[in-house]
Amino acid sequence: MKKQTALFWLKITLIIYILATIFVASLNYGMQNIVSPKQAKVIHQIYKIFENEFKISLILICSFLSWQVLKKQKNNKLQKINLIAFSTTALFIHGIIPWLLNNRELYYFFMPLPWSSLGLQLLDSTSTYYTQQLNLWGVSGIFIAVVFFLISNGVVLLGTLMIGRRWQCSYLCMLNGFVSEIWSKVFPIFGKKKKISSNLLKFLNVFRWIMLGLSLILTTWWLFRIFGIPIKGSKEFISEFEVIKYLSLELLMMMFLWIIWTGRGYCYYCPLGAFLSLISKVIGQKIKTDNTHCINCNQCTQRCPMSIDIAKAASKGKAVNNLRCVGCGHCIDICPTRTLSYETHFIKWWRTKFNHPIVKKD
Ligand code: SF4
Ligand code: SF4
């Protein structure tokens, strides 16, 4: 397939995904409570088909298209791994696991704490969410969802402890990560690629911690309730607030940023990303550079979706351990002299012990 044809279809499919998301979210969040129970059931079915069958098909088709584009590029190893990982995650989260456990809404619990408190709300038998889901799933369904939520939290935590944010942001994230990798070649949808201004970057660097603070407050609030510790605030208000936050600051803003700026726009202020970046710091996540091979071509910096100046660090032989780094590996792939490599303490240990890299440099 020609590169231009694949790029054209990637853009079209992304527009379709955005329109479909807006349509289904409007139905689900705007209409659900004002229509008859029969119509609400139909809306619920549409939402489930969108989140499962539609999403899997789209991800597989678009990963194939993206693969066709990557094939024309000389170095593409890490981006290909990202595509394979996201397609596999989508198959498991939106297909195989829901089918095995007979629950097609388990994906709700795949973004771990502190991003969403839905899993905690399921542990509070007085919450509105618990009551709603009890009617739909029964007690055994709630139990399965809670176990899935705990396992997915454990998997993300363990994976991040070993290989940094690459684990979540380049392999698992079914919110923004998969879109930013699968459609990485077609952002922004309208207009030319834009460089972020230093003022906006400063604002986002602060806003990220505000979002994390807010998520931690909400998480703590639900934990207090679960453990029976008295706390002020109405559960209806808190749940409503979280839905509004999700729809406005997260879902809609994320898509707006795809249209005008970059696929990773939301990652600049994602609370989960901020939380994982702190863990990544502890486990020594970095992009290693080597100034004896760096030819100062600046391609790594231009390619970085998180506006990190890798070339500057590479020219001095310094490692890049910026908190914004999502570990996507685009800088490593693009480097013409194969100067850069991804590392954490665990990856280094593995390489030394088994003489075999987990994340391999060509
Ligand atoms: S920063 Fe957040 S939204 Fe972005 S890929 Fe990571 S977890 Fe997903
Ligand atoms: S520094 Fe490299 S790995 Fe990190 S976000 Fe930028 S391009 Fe991705």
**Confidence category of residue 261, pLDDT binned at 50, 70, 90:** very high
| Nearest alpha carbon, ligand 2 atom 1 | 325
Torsion of CA 291, 294, 295, 301, to 10 degrees: -110
Q: Report the pLDDT averaged over residues 297-313.
A: 95
Higher pLDDT, 311 or 105: 311
Q: Which residue from 267, 280, 324 has its CB within 8 A of the most atoms of ligand 1, so it is best to mutate? A: 267
pLDDT above 90: residue 89? yes
Of all residues in the chain, the percent with pLDDT exceeding 70 is 98
pLDDT of residue 233: 87
Atom number, ligand 2, closest to the C-alpha of residue 320: 1
Task: Report the topology of domain 284-354.
Answer: Alpha-Beta Plaits (3.30.70)
Q: What is the mean pLDDT of the chain?
A: 92
SS (H, E, C) 120-174: HHHHCCCCHHHHHHHHHHHHHHHHHHHHHHHHHHHHHHHHHHHHCCHHHHHHHCC
Predicted TM-score (pTM) above 0.85: yes
User: Which residues, at least 6 apart from 259, have a Cβ–Cβ distance to it below 8 Å?
Assistant: 18, 188, 189, 190
CB 325 near ligand 2, within 6 Å: yes
Classify residue 54 by its DSSP letter: I
Q: Indicate the helix (H) or strand (E) that contains 212.
A: helix 198-226
- Ligand found nearest the CA of 174: 1
Per-residue burial over 129-139, b if 16 or more Cβ lie within 10 Å, else e, is bbeebeeebee
What's the rounded Cα separation, in Å, for the pair 319 and 314? 7
Residue ranges around ligand 1 (CB below 6 Å): 168-169, 173, 175-177, 266-267, 270, 272-273, 326
pLDDT above 70: residue 70? yes
pLDDT above 80: residue 145? yes
Q: Which residue from 82, 169, 250, 255 has its CB within 8 A of the most atoms of ligand 1, so it is best to mutate? A: 169
Q: Which residue from 82, 266, 306 has its CB within 8 A of the most atoms of ligand 1, so it is best to mutate? A: 266
Find the helix packing angle between 271-282 and 198-226, rounded to 10°.
90
What's the rounded Cα separation, in Å, for the pair 22 and 39? 19
**Residue 41 alpha carbon to ligand 1 centre in Å:** 31
Q: Exposed, middle or buried, 155 (CB in 10 Å: 0-12/13-18/19+)? A: middle
- Ligand found nearest the CA of 319: 2
pLDDT of residue 32: 75
Residue type, 99: W
| Nearest alpha carbon, ligand 1 atom 6 | 169
pLDDT above 70: residue 356? no
The token pair at 20 is 């479909």
pLDDT digits (tens, 9 = 90+) for 99-121: 898 888 888 888 889 998 889 99
What's the rounded Cα separation, in Å, for the pair 224 and 174? 28
**Residue 277 alpha carbon to ligand 2 centre in Å:** 13
- Ligand found nearest the CA of 267: 1
pLDDT digits (tens, 9 = 90+) for 5-49: 999 999 999 999 999 999 999 998 888 778 888 888 899 899 989
pLDDT of residue 183: 97
The token pair at 182 is 């699968």
Q: Report the pLDDT averaged over residues 158-185.
A: 94
Per-residue burial over 227-247, b if 16 or more Cβ lie within 10 Å, else e, is eeeeeeeebeebbeebeeebe
Find the helix packing angle between 235-245 and 128-163, rounded to 10°.
50
Atom number, ligand 2, closest to the C-alpha of residue 332: 2
- Ligand found nearest the CA of 264: 1
Q: Where are the domains of the chain?
A: 3-277, 284-354
Question: 100-114, 238-252, 265-279: which has the minimum mean pLDDT?
Answer: 100-114
pLDDT above 80: residue 138? yes
